[in-house]
């Protein structure tokens, strides 16, 4: 969809829903006539969601010298962790209020790459991510405790079967091994049988259990719009949420 700065549609195109998001950007831009100067009188910018911000798609944008804004994938958040720790005291972080929640943004320009990054800390995003993490870790803990109880009662004893059952919560909770340590204690008298299951929560990022994950609530926006402020770049990226709300997606 092509929209104006308020998120109101100018043009749109519908694509098959069974095509993987990361593979469609080039086709989308071609079909929308973006490479042919579809909007010659407009200062157009591509705002890309995280799902399409793959390495190949970002390379496409740079090779074609297209103006873009996207949230980076991979370890960029962690690389700025120390900077984010001081977002409250660092005067270069500017404050934005949205839906009664504070967002802190800081512009970082890399002269070697010509890329601007905007470091964003969202109070609302952190609260949401912490709540999601609490819910799924509680559910995962309940599943493991149930399996632990079955082993202690003798309902489940075969080691292979136990690991298969553990595999199911790992499928349900993709980061299970990141937050839990799980040990199946084998029966010393019978090979292939277990007598106990032990699990405990790990301390993530060397923080105390009651503290929030330091990466929650933070994200990094990448762009070639080096002349714009951190606030303007963030506002342009948030066009995505305005469009989603307009379409009730």
Q: Report phi then psi at 230, rounded to 5.
A: -60, -40
Q: How far apart are CA 224 and CA 196, in angstroms?
A: 56
Q: Which residues pair with 218 in a beta bridge?
A: 121
Rounded Cα–Cα distance for residues 201 and 214 (Å): 17
Contact criterion met (CB below 8 Å) for 105 and 234: yes
Rounded to whole angstroms, the Cα distance separating 205 from 213 reads: 7
Q: What percent of the chain shows pLDDT beyond 90?
A: 31
Tell me what pLDDT residue 207 has: 45
Per 3-state DSSP, what percentage of the chain is helix, strand, and coil (rounded to 5)?
40, 25, 35
What distance in Å separates the CA atoms of residue 1 and residue 247, rounded to the nearest whole number? 11
* Tokens at 38, concatenated: 């579809």
191 CB neighbour count, 10 Å cutoff? 8
Query: For 217-223, what is the mean pLDDT?
Result: 93
Report the alpha-carbon angle 63-69-70, nearest 5: 95
Q: Bigger pLDDT: 112 or 175? A: 112
Q: What is the pLDDT of residue 37?
A: 60
Q: What is the pLDDT of residues 163-174, one digit of tens each?
A: 888 887 767 676
Q: In this predicted model, what pLDDT tens digit does every residue of 63-111 receive, in sequence order?
A: 888 889 999 877 778 889 899 989 999 999 999 998 889 999 999 999 8
Q: What is the pLDDT of residue 31?
A: 77
Residue, of 95 and 5, whose pLDDT is higher: 95
pLDDT in tens, 105-156: 999 999 888 899 999 999 998 888 888 888 888 888 898 999 999 999 889 8
Predicted confidence at residue 229, as pLDDT, reads 96
**For position 118, what pLDDT does the model report?**
96
């Amino acid at each position: 969809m092509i929209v104006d700065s308020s998120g109101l549609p100018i043009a749109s195109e519908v694509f098959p829903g069974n095509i993987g998001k990361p593979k469609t950007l080039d086709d989308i831009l071609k079909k929308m006539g973006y490479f042919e100067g579809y909007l010659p009188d407009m200062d157009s910018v591509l705002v890309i969601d995280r799902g399409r911000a793959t390495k190949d798609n970002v390379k496409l944008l740079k090779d074609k010298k297209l103006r873009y804004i996207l949230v980076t994938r991979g370890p960029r958040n962690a690389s700025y962790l120390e900077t984010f720790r001081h977002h409250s005291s660092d005067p270069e972080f500017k404050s934005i209020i949205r839906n009664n929640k504070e967002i802190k943004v800081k512009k970082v320009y890399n002269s070697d790459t010509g890329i601007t990054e905007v470091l964003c800390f969202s109070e609302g995003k952190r609260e949401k991510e912490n709540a999601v993490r609490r819910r799924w870790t509680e559910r995962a803990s309940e599943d493991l405790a149930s399996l632990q109880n079955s082993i202690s009662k003798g309902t489940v004893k075969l080691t292979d079967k136990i690991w298969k059952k553990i595999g199911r919560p790992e499928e349900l909770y993709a980061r299970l091994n990141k937050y839990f340590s799980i040990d199946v204690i084998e029966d010393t008298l019978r090979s292939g049988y277990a007598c106990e299951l032990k699990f405990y929560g790990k301390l993530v990022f060397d923080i105390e259990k009651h503290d929030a994950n330091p990466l929650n609530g933070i994200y990094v926006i990448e762009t070639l719009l080096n002349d714009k402020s951190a606030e303007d770049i963030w506002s342009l990226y948030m066009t995505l949420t305005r469009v989603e709300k307009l379409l009730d997606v």
